[in-house]
Amino acid sequence: MNILFIGDVVGDAGRRVLLARLPVLQERFKIDLTIVNIENAAGGFGVTDKILRECLAHKIDVLSTGNHVFDKREALELVGREPRLLRPHNYPVGTPGSGWYVGKTRAGEPFAVLNVMGTAFMHPVLDCPFACARTALETRPEAVKAVLVDCHAETTSEKMAMGWFLDGQVSAVVGTHTHVPTADERILPAGTAYISDVGMTGCYDSVIGMNKDKVLRRMVQKLPERLEAAEGRATLCGVVIEVDTKTGRSRGIQRLSVRED
C-alpha cells in the first residue's frame, strides 16, 4: 500500500496547490490511500463545509486536523456528520467527532488512521496522547494492518517519543503542526515510518503560512494585528510511505516538496 500524507494545508494558496498537484502525485506514486491535514485550510483557521466537500471530491480519503479544528463553529457539526474528518482523538469524552477512522482503500485494503494532539505548549491541553493511542489501537480490527498516526504537536521531542512508543504497533507516525518540514524521515527498528514534521502546504513567503507583514507588526510593534493566511506562490509538502499490508510494517518513506511552478 502506498500512502500519501500531505501536511497542514494553509489558506487559499495551500488549497490551490493541493488540488492542482494532487492528481499528478497520486498517479506518479501509484497512491492507494491519501490523507491530508486541513486544520488551517479556511483562511488559516479551521475548516468549512465547502472545503470539506471540495477535498473529498478530489479523492482524499481521510482528513486530519489539530488544535484549530473547531475555529469555525460549523466544524462541531461537520466532525459529527463526516467520520472521515478527524479531530484529535484525545479530546475529552463527549466532544463531537472522533480521531480514529477505520476504512478500506478503493482496492478494498483495510486501513486505519489515528489523529492525536500533543500536550506540551499546546492549547487546549488534552488528555494524554500516549494513553489515547494505546486505547484506540486496542480496538483495531484484526484485519487492519496498515495504520497511520498523525501526531499534531509543538515539540519534536513529544513527536519522537510517540514514534518510539508506537514503533512496531503502527505503520507510520507523522508529525504535523509546526509547518516546517524536517529531514529526519526514517524507518524505526520495528518497522514504523517516522518524520517529525511533514511541513505545511501553503505559501512559504510567510511566517508559517501567515502574512509576514502582519506577523512582524504583532511581534515587533506589539500591535493587536489580526493574522491572515499569506498569498502567493505555494508549495505542497508531504511524504509517501510504502507499507507491507501483510505485516503493517513500512518499507520506505520519502519526503515531497512540490512548488506551484
Q: What pLDDT does 261 receive? A: 82
Which is catalytic among the residues 58, 68, 89, 123? 68
**What is the distance between the alpha carbons of residues 81 and 58, in angstroms, rounded to a whole number?**
19
Residue ranges in the chain modelled with pLDDT below 50: none
Backbone angles phi, psi at 62, to 5 degrees: -140, 145
**Cα Rg of the chain (Å, integer):** 17
Query: How much is the pTM?
Result: 0.97
Asked whether the beta carbons of 192 and 250 are under 8 A apart, the reply is: yes
Q: With 0-12 CB in 10 A as exposed, 13-18 as middle and 19+ as buried, what is 18?
A: buried
Q: Does 68 qualify as catalytic in the annotation?
A: yes
To the nearest whole percent, how much of the chain has pLDDT over 70?
Answer: 100
Distance CA 243, CA 191 (A): 9
